[in-house]
Amino acid sequence: MGLIQNGKWVDQWYDTKNSGGEFRRQDSRFRGWLTADGEPSADNNGQALKSSFKAEKGRYHLYVSLACPWAHRTLIFRELKNLQDYIDVTIVEPVMLENGWEVSDPLYDVKFMYQLYLKADSQYEGRVTVPVLWDKKTETIVSNESAEIIRMFNSAFNHLTGNTDDYYPAERQASINAINDVVYHKINNGVYRSGFATTQYAYETAYNELFEALDDVEERLSKQRYLVGKQLTEADWRLFTTLIRFDAVYFGHFKTNKKLIADYPAISGYMRELYQIPGVSDTVNFDHIKTHYYASHLTINPTGIIPLGPEQNLNLAHGREYLPATV
């Protein structure tokens, strides 16, 4: 764990002293946008983006951790949108200690991700995270914001791949954005707010919000196939990467132990359905997931011992066919 300060790497855990023990995630700093023609587009607020990049085969490189739920989203979209031959991938090492994410980099032979951040911007200050979408042509970071990378992958390469599957359809964007906001704060980031809390109050607040949100999702998914109805959207994939890690890691490691995902009939079936979609299971690596959390977060798990369980059969029938879905 650490961050870049004054051009140098500093090994430092998250500071919660000024937030009442609450973990607060740093906003992503690289926010360029990849488009079909390379022309600048507008963000969700209608503001022109600072930089725009053209979708081209072989131009971009994706750095991910198989353990990280945020990076996992981008790997899933790379599969769903048939981008395997268009965007290369480098997987960082699962254990992240005093030097941050370690990497065997095929482009510049750097050993740590913070070196790549400084190559992109020598003045960069802050946390070093994955995913990173790198432009080999201009030798810089396009984006390190997973929510935006998946939207780029959703449409920017359509004219090259012929894959027009749309996980952020215009007519459902308001509904998708609304559920994304709840899922991000209370579930995606909620597990981290529970696990990284340093006061009882901060922990209990995050814990209660998390399970209230999971109860709401369970009720929703008992009545409809996906989060916004009959159609599978980005909202489902953003939730999935937290769900798939929950029983193996968050339940014990982050003390979110009121219920397992296996205890929610609708959510667990829904999670298995998404896992069983072709290509998705190839992006799930429980060895990396458990190794990263238990062997990296020594503030939480000082011994670094990695649990052997749990046993999960994610290929069991999901039983969701009775709910209508749009193909």
Task: State the total domains in the chain.
Answer: 2
145 occurs within a structural domain: yes
pLDDT band at 46 (very low <50, low <70, confident <90, very high): low
7 and 156 belong to one structural domain: yes
226 occurs within a structural domain: yes
User: Residue 317 and residue 9: Cα distance in Å, rounded?
Assistant: 47
pLDDT digits (tens, 9 = 90+) for 146-184: 999 999 999 999 999 999 999 999 999 999 999 999 999
For residue 301, give every residue at least 6 positions away whose Cβ sits within 8 Å of its Cβ, in sequence order, or none.
253, 293, 294, 295
Q: Which residue has the tokens 């022109």?
A: 48
154 and 187 belong to one structural domain: no
User: Residue 39 and residue 48: Cα distance in Å, rounded?
Assistant: 10
Lowest mean pLDDT segment, chosen from 38-42, 118-122, 184-188, 225-229:
38-42
32 and 83 belong to one structural domain: yes
Which domain CATH number covers 174?
1.20.1050.10
Residue 11, pLDDT above cutoff 90: no
Which domain CATH number covers 139?
3.40.30.10
126 occurs within a structural domain: yes
pLDDT band at 133 (very low <50, low <70, confident <90, very high): very high
243 and 193 belong to one structural domain: yes
Cα torsion angle, 327, 236, 263, 70, sign: positive
Domain with 221, as residue range(s), is 170-277
64 occurs within a structural domain: yes
150 and 230 belong to one structural domain: no
99 and 63 belong to one structural domain: yes
286 occurs within a structural domain: no
Q: Annotated active-site positions, please?
A: 68, 192
For residue 233, give every residue at least 6 positions away whose Cβ sits within 8 Å of its Cβ, in sequence order, or none.
167, 168, 169, 172, 176, 226, 227
152 and 244 belong to one structural domain: no
